[in-house]
Each structure stands twice: as structure tokens, then as C-alpha cells.
Amino acid sequence: MLRTLLAPRLVALHLLVIGVLVSFTFLGRWQLGVFEASGAPKRAPDPAPVAVTELAQVGQHVNGTAISRRVTATGTYDAAYQLLVADRVADVAAPGGRAAQGDGFWLLTPLRLADGTVVPVVRGWVARADDPAAAVPEGTVTVTGRLRPAEQTDDVMRSGNLPAGQVATVSTAELINLWPDARVRDGFVVATAQEPPTRVTPVAVSPPTLGSGFNWRNLAYALQWWIFALFAVYMWFHFVRDALRGRREREQEPERAPGEPGPLEPQPSESQLSEPQSSGLQPPEPRSPEPRSPGPQPSEPAAHVEA
């Protein structure tokens, strides 16, 4: 068996199948990667910063085109109403609540604008509630950041009851109750820069993105390459099986010595000889004896009569 599998013809077949499997597997994985990348969000145009009053209104939700837009706001912080968003990391996209229990706090401070409205601003992140960097700067400040939509109160799995001065989400509906004397604009600003500068750790926020659907054609191409690889294995199996079967049959044939007659052919029986051939040929008709020509007949010898 091993000698058959290592025959030059089958060795070439083995190498060919291995090359086909490696190539087709990588081609299928490449198409699968293209399929996965087609569903990833793509960066949208990121225009220059605009005043937050153009995108965030009182009593109106922040719409899709305004999400993650760069905005600027100038005003004064109201230190008396600063809140800590508990169980958060320094990334807006990261999950909060029980998933980030004890990881730190966002500093959520109301910024009062010249028209009297309030914009919630996430100034940064601190590891402890008593961090000195959490102190609210005094005077007029100018904040540059990205506008985010308000969170829902059930967006995170709460880790339990929070002490006074702490919240689990940045919810406009909740802030209206906590800041009763303020006209709160919808959404919140994640600060990326501030004048004068601050010492807190900034919270990462991504630029605007465009959602896109998956390109299912690339997934079909990936499956097609892998099906071709399976078909190559199927054909290799049949070629090898036929080669082994042929060698086994040759080994089972009895060997004849030189000059030894081969197997006798079967002779037809008497009944087969008496029956007409199936090919439609009729047996030859009996021939009548030919007439003899007249001539002198030999005479019989006369009987010898004794006297």
C-alpha cells in the first residue's frame, strides 16, 4: 500500500491537492475578511466645529447628523450641580455600570451659556471621587468637544444604589430633575480641549461614522472557494482508492510459469451443437449422392462347384 501511495504519479497528485487546499483556504479567508470589513462603520466627513447652540436645542433630541460633530461652547461652570457618573472608564464607547464597577468616574458639569441655557459637559475622567483634579474651574471657559446624544436610564446595568451626587447615565430626562432651575439642552458634550486647560484625563470619543451594510457577495465567494477545496479532497480520495484497488486486483491474479498453457476455454455442449446458431444462419442441407456413370460392372466370381 505504501509503495502505491508513494508512486511518482500519486506523489504529484498529493502535492497538487495540498497546493489547492492551501490556496483555496486562504482565498476563502480573504473573501471572508472583505465581507467582515464591509459591515464596519466608515468615517464620515468631520466638518469644522460649530457653536453647540446650532445643534443642541432645549426639548429637541439630537438628530443623527449632529452626533459626534465637533462643537464649541463658552460659558461658566456651575460647581454646585457637578455630578459624578459612576463606574465608567475614559472611553464613551466602553460599557458602564456593573461591567465597569469601580473603574472610575466621569465629571459631569453644567456649563451655563450666555442665553441662560445649560449644556451638560463631560469634562474628563478621574479614578477616585475625591481626586483633586475634579475641582471645577472658575470663571469663563471655552470648551471644544463632540456632541453626543443623551443616554437612556436603562443603557447600563446598575451595580446598586448610588450615593448622592452620583448618577449611572447621562440622561437629559434625569438631569432636568436634578437641575430644576436650568433649561437643559439635549445631549451632552464630551470635552476634548478647554481654555484654560484642565488636569483631568480626557474621555475618548470617536468622530462621526457612516453605517454600512454587509456585502453578502463576498461571503458567497468565500463559501465557493471552500467548496472547491472540499471537491479537490473528494477527487483525490477517488484517485487514491482506484489506484489501491487496481494494485490489489493485480496481486490477487495467479502467476503462470513460462510455457504453461492458459485456462481452457469452455467447449460447447452437444445440445448447443445440435441447435441452430442464434445469428440466423441455417444448417447446411444434406447433399444427395452423385449418380454413377454407366460402365462395365465387375462380375462376381462364380461359385466353385465340386464334382
Same domain membership, residue 146 and residue 18: no
Does a structural domain hold residue 66? yes
Cβ-contact 24, 228 below 8 angstroms: yes
Same domain membership, residue 232 and residue 106: no
What is the Cα–Cα distance from 184 to 191, expressed in whole angstroms? 17
Does a structural domain hold residue 267? no
Same domain membership, residue 235 and residue 91: no
Does a structural domain hold residue 191? yes
Total domains, the chain: 2
Does a structural domain hold residue 183? yes
Same domain membership, residue 190 and residue 167: yes
pLDDT digits (tens, 9 = 90+) for 93-103: 888 877 778 78
Strand partners, 186: none
Same domain membership, residue 179 and residue 81: yes
pLDDT digits (tens, 9 = 90+) for 51-99: 999 999 998 998 878 889 999 999 999 999 999 999 899 999 888 877 7
pLDDT digits (tens, 9 = 90+) for 178-224: 998 889 999 999 999 999 988 899 999 988 877 667 888 889 999 99
Cβ-contact 145, 193 below 8 angstroms: yes
Same domain membership, residue 134 and residue 55: yes
What pLDDT does 109 receive?
A: 95
Same domain membership, residue 73 and residue 221: no
Same domain membership, residue 180 and residue 149: yes
Does a structural domain hold residue 132? yes
Does a structural domain hold residue 298? no
Structural domain boundaries, residue 146: 50-210
Same domain membership, residue 133 and residue 175: yes
The verdict on pTM exceeding 0.85 is no
Same domain membership, residue 135 and residue 175: yes
What is the Cα–Cα distance from 225 to 24, expressed in whole angstroms? 5
Same domain membership, residue 6 and residue 148: no
Average pLDDT over residues 246-251: 72
Same domain membership, residue 240 and residue 119: no
Q: How far is CA 113 from the centre of its chain?
A: 49
